[in-house]
Amino acid sequence: MRRILTRPLTFVLLAGLFVTGPQIGQAETQIPQSQSEISLGFAPLVKEAAPAVVNIYARIIRQDRNRSPFANDPFFDDFFRQFAQPQPRVQNSLGSGVILSADGIVVSNYHVVGEASDIRVVTNDRREYAAEVILADEASDLAILQLHNADDLPFLELRNSDAVEVGELTLAIGNPFGVGQTVSSGIISGLARTGTGGGQGFGYYIQTDAPINPGNSGGALIDVNGDLIGINTRILSRSGGSNGIGFAIPANLVREFVRQAQDGATEFQRPWAGMTGQPVDADLAEALGMARVDGMLISELHPQSPFVAAGFEVGDVVTAVDGEPVNSPSEMAFRLSVAGLGGQSEITRLRQGASATVQVALSEAPDEPASAPIQLNEQTPMPGLVVAQINPRVINRLQLPLSATGVVVLDPGPYAGRGGVQSGDIVMGVNGQPVAAPQDVPRLLLESGRWMQLDLLRQGKRVALRFRL
């Protein structure tokens, strides 16, 4: 049986005022009429919403390399490197999750369950379920779980997070420090926060001052109607405890994750923009003759970008996607991710002072020309090495510069990896001979004598690695 909020709730505010109504935009301020109304607090809301927030216990097995006693010695380290064999290490992870459907769809953070081999989910009423990850994405720090043999579970509805406003009351529900389910209150402190986390630049968060601590990750940030605003994911703190600056992943991105998971996707698919950009600051706005300081300036476009096909040029300013403002590359990535693949988005473009709305097709990065990956066999000096032709799909997967061309390392394998080769290295040459296609690599390696040299391009810097065969 679905358990969701079916009636407006009443809450006491700081000065004895309270908000009532099914939507925050329709709230009206009233004077409490009785002692029971004054003492009501958040109890009815918590009673309705808390059962849909779960505790997650995950076990992650990592392969760690034994540290050689000569690891810091520049001479002996090379000799003893091969003896430092990987050893399994069990890491236990504790976090929270939110039930989003009666049949056991749960959302949490990637850093809680993304690499877990064993996951247990415990509900508010102490029922315990085994679970598996059905979709996860490290860049967005989101993971979708499916509980085994679950039905008729309480769940939360997803709110349109673009309608959230600064100053709204909010509750954070989770399992901080493993002490058990805990509720903390606050307000929405900020929107469209970017650059607060790591990953690949897709950070785009709602900020709240509701206390969030370790263990709250994956828990719920809800509004006064019990709808899910976002998934608590990180804090800004020097001590590791809450300083009143917490961040949640907006519900609109969670909705797209759930949709793709239910459609059977095994990897989260986000549209490819094929561009790089920078926020418009005061100096840029003045140089471009803009009346306002907003938008993202396009600084580079890949020839196969769908924005090129739609007529965009370097120097254009993107100010909105589907009517929502865009002021940074992170916001652009978020808006396209929410829109999803297969359709079109309305992109508001500013060029030479004139604004226009342009339809852009949303598609994944094309695999053209074919990447044609090759894995080297045991007859070559570097068995297990995987190389491929660089194309838009490879650029997007490895986060290479848009201008990258040639051949790239997808997987260094055991031998090249020990010698310092990394995934994402662009192979410029082997033994002084240029490399233009994947098949050039095994051919040139087989022509090596007692010594072999790889000329690589790594994050814009040239690297030369020498090997004795």
Active site residues: 111, 141, 217
Q: Cα dihedral sign for 171, 175, 176, 181?
A: positive
- Name 405's Cβ contacts closer than 8 Å, sequence gap at least 6: 390
Give the side-chain half-sphere CA count within 13 A for 347. Answer: 29
Q: Check residue 89 and give left, alpha or beta (phi > 0: left; psi -120 to 50: alpha).
A: beta
C-alpha dihedral (309, 315, 321, 327), degrees to nearest 10: 150
Q: What is the 3-state secondary structure (H, E, C) of the chain?
A: CCCCCCCCCCEECCCCCEEECCCHHHCEEECCCCHHHHCCCCHHHHHHHHHHEEEEEEEEEEEEECCCCCCCCCCHHHHHHHHCCEEEEEEEEEEEEEECCCCCEEEECHHHHCCCCEEEEECCCCCEEEEEEEEEECCCCEEEEEECCCCCCCCCCECCHHHCCCCCEEEEEECHHHCCCEEEEEEEEEEEECCCCCCCCCCCEEEECCCCCCCCCCCEEECCCCCEEEEEEEECCCCCCCCCCEEEEEHHHHHHHHHHHHCCCCCCCCCCCCEEEEECCHHHHHHHCCCCCCCEEEEEECCCCHHHHCCCCCCCEEEEECCEECCCHHHHHHHHHHHCCCCEEEEEEEECCEEEEEEEECCCCCCCCCCCCEECCCCCCCCCCEEEECCHHHHHHHCCCCCCCCEEEEECHHHHHHCCCCCCCEEEEECCEECCCCCHHHHHHHCCCCEEEEEEEECCEEEEEEEEC
- CA 137/CA 134 separation, integer angstroms: 11
**Residues 211/184, Cβ–Cβ less than 8 Å:** yes
